[in-house]
Amino acid sequence: MSVLLIAEHDNSKLKPFTLNAITAASKIDGDVHVLVAGANCENVTKEAASVPLVKKVLWCDSPNYQNYLPENLAPLVTKTAEKYDHIVASANTFGKNFMPRVAAALDISQVSDIIKVSSPDTFIRPIYAGNAFATVKSNDKKKCVTIRPTSFDPAEKNGGSAQVEKIEAVDVPNTSKFIKREETKSERPELGTARIVVSGGRGLESGENFKLITDIADKLNAAVGASRAAVDAGYISNDHQVGQTGKVVVPDLYIAVGISGAIQHLAGMKESKIIVAINKDGEAPIFSVADYGLEADLFKALPEFLAELNKLNTIQK
Amino acid sequence: MKILVAVKRVIDYNVQIRVKEDGSGVHTDNVKMSTNPPDDNAVEESVKLKESGKVKEVVAISIGEDKAQETIRKALAVGADKGIHVKADNYIEPLGIAKILKKIVEKEKPDMVFLGKQAIDDDCNQTGQMLAAMLNWPQATFTSKVNLKDKSLEIVREIDEGLETIEVNLPAVVSCDLRLNEPRFASLPNIMKAKKKPMEQINAKDLGIDLTNRIQQIKVEEPPKRKAGIKVANVAELVSKLKNEAKVL
Ligand SMILES: Cc1cc2nc3c(=O)[nH]c(=O)nc-3n(C[C@H](O)[C@H](O)[C@H](O)COP(=O)(O)OP(=O)(O)OC[C@H]3O[C@@H](n4cnc5c(N)ncnc54)[C@H](O)[C@@H]3O)c2cc1C
Ligand SMILES: Nc1ncnc2c1ncn2[C@@H]1O[C@H](COP(=O)(O)O)[C@@H](O)[C@H]1O
């Protein structure tokens, strides 16, 4: 009766959402085992072992797992899953990629993107871009579950000392090849975990004008987000997209600028604690979810906003 | 080469979803239905590959009630050659859909299966990956660029960190992102022509697969509503509220 959680990492460090996934896994069953599959990833196993909620770490080291190709990773998870009742991963592009392959191999109907564990077999998940919440019960013997990281707090990182057990790699099909990854490098906090997010939409009109957004973000030590329209128009790269088909964020403060508030965008941010909307159209739907709405031209409001922020003597970090 | 492209009929993305009072689901009567948006991108890419001469045939498939044929007709109107309607009156979860698609793949023997990355009703994001696993094929998910080579596909995919380039051998499953292309509209003459294109009909029950859903939907509810906010008069008031009332600055 244990949970197998698949760690997301870059071979040297655990990715932050793994800690949220560990919390979710521990709500299903206290006996959480973490699988760390990667290449030369010993440091990751140590990090995982020091998380107090983790009871055991399974470590599989092989060049085949370096780039988490799902064709390679899924057979390992499938085999390791024999001894477990639940297989859990984050519902981000990492978990979404391989988990359904594991579920299919085990003939399990996967429960995607849960936001709450009601019991070990019953979960709540948003459907229709979060316009409805479904309570679902899995009748499969084993369960494959992906969890929405932002709906669970990150687990405490330090103080544990779980046992690390090495496991054998399994054969890979050699049908896919990793070529390259272009990561957007930034000094700013990660969008998924930032305390404050400042997002821009089509109202910004150009990539250059996004500087108005990034200036505020830097002042507030915030991450930068965007609507799909802004990404499609090339103002900013795809990894900034917030929404049904982008990232889900739940910061303490979300500032939406020049964003109309289509349901697909709201799906990614409407759980934020405080929402601010700056839009020149007083009827824009974004105002219906905003705690504080400012009906104004952003080209005037953003420089003023920056000036006001500069006047504050302290800003929380 | 041949492509099988999967299209799902879903509630149109512009419709405001209404949850049923009895918790059994959402209202679908008299609600506008459309093709699942990324499935339009999957169709568009298939048709473009056909136009490039590398692909000879595009077969569009939809699983669902009789009206799913409208969704297939739309794919035919923008360039797919043939339709397959697998009739099923009840909701089938992605695992079952993938099993049906596998049967059809074994029969049609395509070199590639194109799907949308996610259905905007159940938001599952599973079917393509499940199908790939069942066929033992490689997969490309969240695809935003396709380069078809002789025996492989070079793919750019959208990941949380940015972009990733991979190469997958054929045959392969490709799940498409909205940024892959700009789906075309069907012209009236092509809509008329599409009515004459072949449409095969198969009953899901006759495929010899156990399609019992494993996930039981216990209830569907409205998400909690946010309490109404206020409008502020100017930037200074906004900053003061954020600092002193919301205490987030
Ligand atoms: C299947 C599907 C999935 C989707 N997924 C997503 C998703 O994940 N994320 C997402 O964001 N969208 C998504 N979309 C797109 C979504 O439907 C909207 O088209 C999009 O969110 C609109 O972006 P926007 O608000 O920036 O642009 P618009 O809707 O064009 O709004 C621009 C806003 O800026 C305001 N504005 C303009 N100029 C100024 C100014 N000078 N000062 C102040 N305000 C100004 C306008 O009043 C307007 O409200 C999806 C769509 C589909 C079909
Ligand atoms: N009933 C269906 N008929 C045809 N294609 C489907 C069906 N259900 C899902 N698909 C395909 O699978 C993709 C992913 O769906 P899902 O896994 O449900 O998010 C969709 O974008 C479609 O391309």
**Each residue's pLDDT tens digit, A79-121:** 999 999 999 999 999 999 999 999 999 999 999 999 999 999 9
Whether ligand 2 lies within 6 angstroms of the CB of B35 is answered as: no
Biggest distance spanned by C-alpha atoms of chain B: 68
Torsion sign across C-alpha atoms A229, A232, A236, A240 = positive
A203-258 tens-digit pLDDT? 999 999 999 999 999 999 999 999 999 999 999 999 999 999 999 999 999 999 99
Residue of A nearest to B211 (CA): A109
Q: Torsions phi, psi of B132, nearest 5?
A: -60, -45
Q: State in Å, rounded, how far the first CA of chain B is from the last one.
A: 58
Shortest distance between the Cα of A311 and any Cα of chain B, in A, equals: 10
Minimum-distance CB partner of A292 among B94, B158, B232: B232
Q: Is the pTM of this model over 0.90?
A: yes
B24-45 tens-digit pLDDT? 999 999 999 999 999 999 999 9
The residue behind tokens 């459907």 is: A127
Q: Is the peptide bond before A16 cis (omega within 30 degrees of 0)?
A: no
Q: pLDDT confidence of A314, banded at 50, 70, 90?
A: confident
Query: Which residues does ligand 1 sit against, CB inside 6 Å?
Result: A 201-203, 227-230, 241-246, 258-260, 262, 264-265, 268, 279-281, 284, 297-299; B 13, 37, 120, 178
Query: What is the rounded CA–CA span in Å between residue A86 and residue A120?
Result: 9
Query: What is the rounded CA–CA span in Å between residue B121 and residue A129?
Result: 7
Q: Can you list the residues of chain B whose pLDDT is less than 50?
A: none
A286-311 tens-digit pLDDT? 999 999 999 999 999 999 999 999 99
Two tokens at A131?
A: 């316009």
Tell me the HSE value of A198 on the side-chain side, using a 13 A CA sphere: 21
Chain A 13-32, residues with CB within 8 Å of chain B CB atoms:
none
Chain A interface mutation, best of B33, B124, B156, B157, highest count of A Cβ atoms under 10 Å: B124
Is the pLDDT confidence value at A47 over 80? yes
Query: What is residue B98's three-state secondary structure?
Result: helix
Is the pLDDT confidence value at A317 over 70? no
Q: Which residues of A156-179 are buried (b: 16+ CB within 10 A; e: fewer)?
A: eeeebebebeeeebbebeebbbee
Query: What pLDDT score does B228 carry?
Result: 82
Contact B59, B82 (CB under 8 A): yes
CB atoms within 10 A of CB A58: 23
Query: What is the rounded CA–CA span in Å between residue B157 and residue B177?
Result: 8
User: Average pLDDT, whole number, for chain A?
Assistant: 96
Query: What is the rounded CA–CA span in Å between residue A187 and residue A182?
Result: 16
Query: What pLDDT score does A186 carry?
Result: 86
Q: Which residues of B touch A312 (CB under 8 A)?
A: 239, 243, 249
Question: Which among A235, A196, A248, A234 has a CA at the least distance from the CA of A217?
Answer: A196
Question: Which among B178, B80, B79 has a CA at the least distance from the CA of A241?
Answer: B178
Two tokens at B78?
A: 């923008």
Cα–ligand 1 centroid distance for A270 (angstroms): 15
Query: What is residue A281's three-state secondary structure?
Result: coil
Is the pLDDT confidence value at A150 over 70? yes
Angle, in degrees to the nearest 10, between helices A93-105 and A70-80: 60
Chain centroid to Cα A79, Å, comes to 26
Query: What is the rounded CA–CA span in Å between residue B53 and residue B33?
Result: 33
Query: What pLDDT score does B227 carry?
Result: 84
State whether A294 and B13 contact (CB < 8 Å).
no
- Run of H or E including A198: strand A196-200
Q: Which residues of B touch A131 (CB under 8 A)?
A: 16-17, 19, 26, 223
Query: What is the rounded CA–CA span in Å between residue B51 and residue B73?
Result: 19
A151-176 tens-digit pLDDT? 999 999 999 999 999 999 999 999 99
Average pLDDT over residues A17-35: 98
Relative to the alpha carbon of B62, which ligand is closest? 2
Length of chain B in terms of residues written: 249
A34-44 tens-digit pLDDT? 999 999 999 99
Q: Distance of CA A198 to CAs A64, A105, A218, A311, B15, Å?
A: 38, 41, 10, 19, 28
Query: What pLDDT score does B90 carry?
Result: 93
Minimum-distance CB partner of A139 among B117, B177, B214: B214
Residue of A nearest to B176 (CA): A245
Two tokens at A178?
A: 């990793």
B240 residue type, one letter? S
Query: What pLDDT score does A242 carry?
Result: 98
A21: left (phi over 0), alpha (psi -120 to 50) or beta: alpha
User: What value, to the nearest 5°, has the Cα angle with vertex A287 and ends B16 and A257?
Assistant: 110
Query: What pLDDT score does A1 carry?
Result: 66
